[in-house]
Amino acid sequence: MKLPKDSDTPPYRLVAEELRRQIRSGRLKPGERVPSSRDLEASYEIANMTARSALRVLRDEGLIYSMPGRGNFVADPLPSGVDSKAGAPEAGGSERMPTAEYIELSERLDAINARLDTLLQVFQQLSGASGSKK
């Protein structure tokens, strides 16, 4: 599955949204293993760092948890304070609020990932152009 190229939304957020939909619809059930970053990389044709960022978003929301050496799994039970449409905590529904430092670092990481995706696309285009001239 390819992600839309005309979207203003960063690729990692599009992948996170798709996984969120699968969790909320029951396609991925509580306790079930979530696709690995490598699986997501291959499925969505994205960079591994992009896939990891998508998983980080879901982990931060409490929808998945990680077990080192085993993978990521759907939380059981699912958090109740998450809006199924947006994936953001509902007003008053979340007990832990991110700190200002966390928000700033998260935004900076998002910007770095967006730049990295852009650079990877440029490198892929350049390697494709130089390879076709031979």
**Edge-to-edge, what's the strand order for the sheet holding 64-67?**
33-34, 71-74, 64-67
For 87-95, the CB contacts below 8 A with 24+ separation are 87/16, 87/17, 87/20, 87/57, 87/61, 87/63, 88/61, 89/61
Tell me if residue 89 falls in helix, strand or coil: strand
- Domains of the chain listed by start with CATH number: 11-97 (1.10.10.10)
Q: What is the mean pLDDT of residues 15-29?
A: 93
Higher pLDDT among residues 61 and 104, named by residue: 61
Does the pLDDT at position 18 exceed 90? yes
pLDDT band for 97, please (50, 70, 90 cuts): low
pLDDT band for 117, please (50, 70, 90 cuts): confident
Tell me the one-letter amino acid at 114: A
What is the structure's pLDDT at 95?
43
Does the pLDDT at position 85 exceed 90? no
Q: What is the pLDDT of residues 51-78, one digit of tens each?
A: 999 999 999 999 999 999 999 999 988 8
pTM higher than 0.85, yes or no?
Answer: no
How far is it, in rounded angstroms, from Cα 35 to Cα 107? 25
